[in-house]
Structure 1
Amino acid sequence: MATSISFVGLSCFLLSLCLVCSLKEGYAFEELIESYAESYLTHTFEVSSLFASSICNHSTKANERESTFRVVDKYGPCFQPSLHRSVVPPSLTDIIRSDRARIYSIQARLSKNSGRRDLIVEPNSLGIPIIDGSAFDTLSYLVKVGLGTPKKDLSLILDTGSRLTWTQCEPCRSCYKQSEPLYDRDDSNSYVTIPRNDPVCEYVRRPVDPPRPINLCSYEISYGDGSVSVGFFSKETLTMSAAEKINSFLFGCGTDNKGPFNLVAGILGLNQEDASIVFQTAQKYNKIFSYCLPSSTSSTGHLTFGSQTPAPAGIKYTKLVAEKSPFYGLDLIGIGLGGTKLNIPESIFTTPGTIIDSGAVFSYLPPVAYMTFRDKFRVAMSAYPLIPGPTAAIETCYDFSKSTSVTVPEISFFFKDGTIVGIPGKYSFIEYNTTLTCLGFQDGGDKHSIIGNKVQRTMEVVYDVPGQRVGFAPNGCS
């Protein structure tokens, strides 16, 4: 026994001696650091890149495709109406309150008790009046479409959670202010009314007090904040580009509208219901579309219909969960930092499920997942000053004003089919000003996880409905 112990002791001594010698030469230490760096993925970016410039930087991808709309941020120089009227971006407090209203509406529709269409309230991608009645906008993305013949250019909210495309119409009995001239059906030679007894009139909810004439198909669509659009369900020519037009496109011609829409002409509905543009153009584009949301308010992205050849470089597909329709559901089973999956039970994610949404700003995780993720994120960011957020809900914020660059761990989404999608750490933040930048994740309660629009920035997100899959490709806007 003594000989055995002596042998072990001698072995340990010799091993230690070798390690000391290696460390002295620097090799083992350097290898250890290199190994750690490879296993912990980070991204370093200039702090100045978080904030928009006064000049619009156009995406080159939008110019390369025919069936494409340009996507812009509502509050930047790429949204041309902002040149004519100042639009003040919402505060982070306003954003989270508005986001919560949208999330509650989405959860209501996903609930088993929300099956009746006449009781369904569309999720709101725009704003919510809070206690005092003030209206707050969220950070939405816009596409400019051409409607009518000759076409009238209109800026609409890109919304994967809405089934109906609508805009304000003349003659308007009650309309909110918008920057662009209202669409006037009398000025278009391609506008077509739909009779009340037409089968497509079943796609929309009829108002209790329909506008005159009552023999025409009318619609009403309401949102979580009390905003509403009422008018006539009609047909018109929708222009994407000089070479791409959609004839007899079904849309809502709103003659009574209210809500905090702030300059925007209406909504472009992209969900999985009959009246959405995705399903209306199924014969031409096969229910396939993709978008790339711009990196900042001074950049542009694109919304493209139809499959792309060749496919976007580096694209990764994951399964589309059919039972979450009309929303786009995903089989999320985990979240990671630095390339490593966090120790969170998969059931935390799979029991309620997950959807991806173009209208929600923040991303929402179940409580256990959020707290684990938040705590690990703070540890990884301990080199930077953690400061109080504007509300209890926005609790992980930083002041980067004394830094020229920031290093952030990569965020990963882990899906049931083995797909792992990495998000550059820069897009885990929502920046408000030079001294206030906050983590773009929130506690979503014991409900569905939601992948919001800020973490989707610069990726090309491909929705392949017939293939029942959603794809993610890096560098989609450049």
Structure 2
Amino acid sequence: MPHFFFIFIFTIFFPISFVLSRTTPLPSQTTVLDVSFETQKVQNVFFTDFNALNSLNQAEEVNPFEDSSSALSFQLHSRLAIEGIGSHQDYESLFMTRLDRDSARFNSILTHLNLVVQGDGLANLKPEEESELSSLEGMEMPVVSGVSQGSGEYFSRVGIGYPPSQAFMVLDTGSDVNWVQCNPCADCYQQADPIFEPGNSSTYHTMSCRARQCQSLDVLACVKDTCLYQVSYGDGSYSVGELASETITFGGEGGASAANIAIGCGHDNEGLFTGASGLLGLGGGDLSFQSQINASSFSYCLVDRDTKSTSTLEFDSITSLDAIIAPLLRNLKTSTYHYVDLTGLSVGGQPVPIPPSTLQLKDNGDGGVIVDSGTAITRFPMEVYNALREAFVKGTPDLTLTNGVAVFDTCYDLSQRKTVEIPTVSFRFSNGKEWSIPAKNYLVPIDSKGTFCFAFATTSSSMGIIGNVQQQGTRVSFDLKNSLIGFSNDKC
């Protein structure tokens, strides 16, 4: 009888504890960064042929849906794979240019959110208040050129119109309006592909001002019942043109397509996304691409920006079973941005001492933490960042500190090291789950000489943002139907 009782207890309770240990694993206290590999990788940037647009064009004429569990999927490229290294002579110069773009991007989001929270600005203009915007020229506004900075870090290849004209489009989870540069061009920046010619597409139709999509624009005007749009960005870039209905195709002429997609036909464009033809908006608003195709979910995996690797952007895809799941929140003041319910941070397996309310999204639209594909560096309010940095520095007493660089105030000289063991950094969510970030995503090289920086920054704003450096190599899944977001490491 005692033996039977022991077997019964073992059979019943052991599987339960085993399942719990698998579904709620404790983060490791430390992780290893391969310094030699990361240093060699950035050194190889200047010996790699990134200027391969022709091969990219040819490769993506085939259907990219094979081996995908998604109903709609297409390839994703880093900015470096599209533009090449340009005039940069060393990796530090390339990295600093990225930081400049990143600052412009972050300021753009911050400016828009400040206008929303204050209840002022373009986000609240009504069509009847814009009667002076009676022409394309009237829709222009004073801006500072963004040509020298550019925006956008990841690109997808899509077909516009029918027959489809292939174009590189920037992936942007922080924008809703899709648009492409169009002829005739009053002013168009340089792009890799020919400018889209709407007259060559049998499915191109300008949209009436009475259309629901037109009325969803933040800034619009009407000329002879044609809907005109304007989108502008914090780095001084903008696009102005007519809103149209068009077909979007993935994987060449024989690929899957989505009809009647509202897309801006930009005749006057300045400074945005050098090399790309326009923007694919993946924000949470009604005009975003996934909203228009009624996708219940979408996911992406952002490849390493210093390689030629590609990954996929997928719609109606299945979240990986091993994903770390967290609540996805919506700002009551604006539907554009995707917020995650982040309540805390851990370093070396120990919670960072910060009040959960510090990261909370307020009812007035203030605060919260955005997950964004276009912003590079993760930023936290000062109180949060200082506590995070202090915990990390305390956990790296054997590493040699060096001078800070740009937005980074915690940098190390690892030139004499092949590997280093560093504290694990994890994001803690309101449902108790923790996402441990790979070491290479938070201690990053900023030159080819062995200088590595803690890749977080502070902001005077109450808003936080999880950038694409921390997301690299992780499949980020947005379950729009159930308001959940998933993070799956090493799923590109």
TM, length-normalised to structure 1: 0.79
Answer yes or no: is 1:64 the counterpart of 2:78: no
Q: Which residue of 1 aligns with 2:159?
A: 146
Q: How far has the Cα of 1:460 moved from its partner?
A: 0.9
Letter in 1 for 2:328: L
Partners of 1:38 and 1:104 in 2: CA distance: 32
Letter in 1 for 2:246: E
Q: Which residue of 2 aligns with 1:102?
A: 108
Task: Decide whether the 8 Å contact of 2:152 with 2:170 is kept in 1.
Answer: no
Partners of 1:63 and 1:385 in 2: CA distance: 47
Letter in 1 for 2:491: G
Identity %: 28
Q: 2:262 aligns with which of 246, 250, 258?
A: 250
Taking structure 1 as reference, are residues 177 and 394 closer, same or farther at Cα in structure 2, changes over 3 Å only?
same
Taking structure 1 as reference, are residues 453 and 178 closer, same or farther at Cα in structure 2, changes over 3 Å only?
same
Q: 2:119 is paired with a residue of what secondary structure? A: helix
Task: Decide whether the 8 Å contact of 2:231 with 2:238 is kept in 1.
Answer: yes
Q: How far has the Cα of 1:40 moved from its partner?
A: 1.4
Partners of 1:202 and 1:330 in 2: CA distance: 29
Answer yes or no: is 1:196 the counterpart of 2:199: no
Q: Which residue of 2 aligns with 1:186?
A: 199
Task: Decide whether the 8 Å contact of 1:75 with 1:89 is kept in 2.
Answer: no
Q: 2:94 aligns with which of 89, 100, 123?
A: 89
Letter in 2 for 1:389: G
Q: How far has the Cα of 1:420 moved from its partner?
A: 1.1
Q: Which residue of 1 aligns with 2:395?
A: 380
Taking structure 1 as reference, are residues 469 and 137 closer, same or farther at Cα in structure 2, changes over 3 Å only?
same
Task: State the Cα RMSD in Å.
Answer: 2.9
Answer yes or no: is 1:169 the counterpart of 2:182: yes
Partners of 1:222 and 1:39 in 2: CA distance: 44
Partners of 1:260 and 1:115 in 2: CA distance: 22
Partners of 1:63 and 1:86 in 2: CA distance: 37
Q: 1:113 aligns with which of 109, 115, 119?
A: 119
Q: Which residue of 2 aligns with 1:224?
A: 234
Q: 1:448 aligns with which of 443, 452, 463?
A: 463
Letter in 1 for 2:170: I
Q: Which residue of 1 aligns with 2:273?
A: 261
Task: Decide whether the 8 Å contact of 2:30 with 2:421 is kept in 1.
Answer: no
Answer yes or no: is 1:236 the counterpart of 2:242: no
Q: How far has the Cα of 1:404 moved from its partner?
A: 2.3
Answer yes or no: is 1:48 the counterpart of 2:45: no
Q: Which residue of 2 aligns with 1:15?
A: none
Q: Which residue of 2 aligns with 1:415?
A: 429
Partners of 1:263 and 1:423 in 2: CA distance: 31
Cα deviation, 1:103-146, whole Å, max 9, x if unaligned, reads 423432552524863459xxxxxxx969xx88324561111111
After superposition, residues 119-130 of structure 1 pair within 5 angstroms as 119=125
Q: 1:173 is paired with a residue of what secondary structure? A: coil
Partners of 1:93 and 1:464 in 2: CA distance: 30
Q: How far has the Cα of 1:74 moved from its partner?
A: 0.4
Query: How many pairs does the alignment contain?
Result: 417
Partners of 1:95 and 1:406 in 2: CA distance: 30
Q: 2:385 is paired with a residue of what secondary structure? A: helix
Cα deviation, 1:419-453, whole Å, max 9, x if unaligned, reads 21111121013433213332221112241111111
TM, length-normalised to structure 2: 0.77
Q: How far has the Cα of 1:329 moved from its partner?
A: 1.4
> Radius of gyration: which is bigger?
1
Q: 2:441 aligns with which of 427, 432, 435?
A: 427
Partners of 1:275 and 1:95 in 2: CA distance: 25
Q: 1:143 is paired with a residue of what secondary structure? A: strand
Cα deviation, 1:20-62, whole Å, max 9, x if unaligned, reads xxxxxxxxxxxxxxxxx9961313324333635426899xx97
Q: Which residue of 1 aligns with 2:7?
A: none
Q: 1:48 is paired with a residue of what secondary structure? A: helix
Partners of 1:221 and 1:347 in 2: CA distance: 33
Taking structure 1 as reference, are residues 297 and 453 closer, same or farther at Cα in structure 2, changes over 3 Å only?
same
Cα deviation, 1:348-376, whole Å, max 9, x if unaligned, reads 22262222111111111111110111122
Q: Which residue of 1 aligns with 2:16?
A: none
Letter in 2 for 1:218: L
Taking structure 1 as reference, are residues 387 and 163 closer, same or farther at Cα in structure 2, changes over 3 Å only?
same
Range with bigger deviation, 324-333 or 253-262? 324-333
Q: 1:64 is paired with a residue of what secondary structure? A: coil
Task: Decide whether the 8 Å contact of 2:191 with 2:274 is kept in 1.
Answer: yes
Letter in 2 for 1:395: D
> Structure 2: which 5+ residue stretches go unaligned?
1-25, 51-55, 127-142
Partners of 1:99 and 1:248 in 2: CA distance: 30
> Structure 1: which 5+ residue stretches go unaligned?
1-36, 121-127
